Amino acid sequence: MRLSSFAATDVGRARSGNEDSYFCGRSVFAVADGLGGHQGGEVASAAAVEPLAALDGREFAKPAEAAEALAAAIREANSAILDRAAGNPALWGMGTTLTAAAVAGDRHLQLAHVGDSRAYLFRDGSLEQLTTDHTVVAELVRRGRLSPEQAAIHPERSILTRAVGLDPTLPVDTPDPLELHPGDQVLLCSDGLTEAVDDARVAELLSASSEGDAACRSLIDAANQAGGPDNITVVLVRVG
């Protein structure tokens, strides 16, 4: 099955620097969002994608193999960030989200995830979130204490419960593998997109652009038109 991949990043309109990083390879893809307000966010996100980039081109016969490799790479990144921060007081407290995907077998995509950067599947006109946000507010929604509508405007919606580089014992989510179909689009993105652009608009933009680079650009433009409150990064995988 033929895959095409595209990526773009933008500082947005409210930040002076870009703390997001991404990797867009042949078979591995990732988005990392350095923790805003923490020293070294840019350093953490860049370090997070390095072990994932090393997996690019590796063949995984089964999704379980890809899940194990992705989780191991994220744990490696976690240790590297902790070690680097321990050796430099200026970097103490740095961390990052990390959402990654790897091709497995002929037609599967395996995800691994920490934080609130997201993965989506756009298929047959419908957009589905594939990852679970590791935030205080998302946990309240899962417990039935907040509605999704309340969560979308909650002042603490960006407070993370889990991030790479903050805890030596890091749980990594590896959702069920995704069986790819012709025409599928898989989007990895930082919350600079999802905080500014709702799912319906994301779906509309993915549907409207026949060119992957143009789709990425339109998503970033939409986030900036909505105020660009954070750095914006998107990685888009399209199934031919």
Contact 146, 104 (CB under 8 A): no
The per-residue pLDDT for 37 is 58
Hey, where are the domains in the chain? 3-239
Give the C-alpha separation, 173 to 124, whole Å: 26
What confidence tens digit (pLDDT) does each residue in 139-178 have?
Answer: 776 777 777 777 677 667 778 999 999 999 999 999 999 9
Indicate the CATH number for domain 3-239. 3.60.40.10
The per-residue pLDDT for 157 is 72
Give the C-alpha separation, 112 to 176, whole Å: 10
Q: What pTM does this model have?
A: 0.94
Retrieve residue 95's tokens: 């961390």
